[in-house]
Structure 1
């Protein structure tokens, strides 16, 4: 069964599953202090739940048949709420931030 633009039920299902997994991993990394979210050099404010909700609101709502590189570009567009800042710790427990 197809919906407009050639989007099949299967692709919609797998997209929603992938979206769920992405958000779950994002939440895990944030709650385990391995990742922070930032936009234009400023960390997002609010709880992890608030920040995940922002991604849920802004994430492209449906799968569009495109190459993976086209989908990954979304992370660099203004509508993407934030980018990843990886958090590592040195031997003394000091935080090291790796901006992407």
Structure 2
């Protein structure tokens, strides 16, 4: 089971997803090359790994209804882990990220320190 990306893959994903909503991170959370039989469960775990890394690296913050989520990075990722759909059909083609059930959205911290709310 693949549980993390290489440094190069992470950097490419983070740069490609910058400024986009969290569903982009899930879409890009695929190793290159993608191994045969790569499952939604593995992709889900990569999403959590990338989310945690982006938070720890200060590239994003998480917010809901205009307020930043509180708690440690681990606590915020755990909120997502508990709420996150277990199957791809439950994601409804990424609509879940815009549903009230999603714990929050991405606020990108740009290189100049400004915030880009998604």
Normalised by the length of structure 2, the TM-score is 0.64
In the alignment, structure 2 segments of 5+ residues that lack a partner are: 1-35
CA RMSD after TM alignment = 2.1
Structure 2 partner of 1:85: 107
> Would you say how many aligned residue pairs link Structure 1 and Structure 2?
83
In the alignment, structure 1 segments of 5+ residues that lack a partner are: 1-9
Q: Does 1:37 align with 2:55?
A: no
Normalised by the length of structure 1, the TM-score is 0.75
**Alpha-carbon deviations, 1:9-49, whole Å to 9, x = none?**
x98x7011000001100111000000000000000000000
**Alpha-carbon deviations, 1:43-89, whole Å to 9, x = none?**
0000000000000000012232x8x8x32111100000000000013
Q: Does 1:15 align with 2:33?
A: no
Larger Rg, first or second structure (1 or 2) = 1
